[in-house]
Amino acid sequence: MITSISLDEILQRISTYPQSNIWLAIVANNSEHQELIQNLEETLSIFTGYNVVAISGQEGIMLV
């Protein structure tokens, strides 16, 4: 089931586990939401102090 949560809730969840590795998946049409994705990357990077990376599936499927 896919659910929607606010940025505040995301930041609260991250702050609950400050020493943990956290993975977050956001599925969006990159071309329509590029500014939102960039703002989210910047906000999460500032809040956590870690590098945040967006992985695009535009060139096909990537398995990690």
pLDDT, one tens digit per residue, over 16-32 is: 877 777 777 777 766 67
Q: Is the pLDDT of residue 41 over 70?
A: yes
Q: What mean pLDDT do residues 50-60 have?
A: 74
CA distance linking residue 12 with residue 3, whole number of Å:
16
pLDDT over 70, % of the chain: 77
CA distance linking residue 15 with residue 8, whole number of Å:
11
pLDDT band for 47, please (50, 70, 90 cuts).
confident
CA distance linking residue 26 with residue 44, whole number of Å:
13
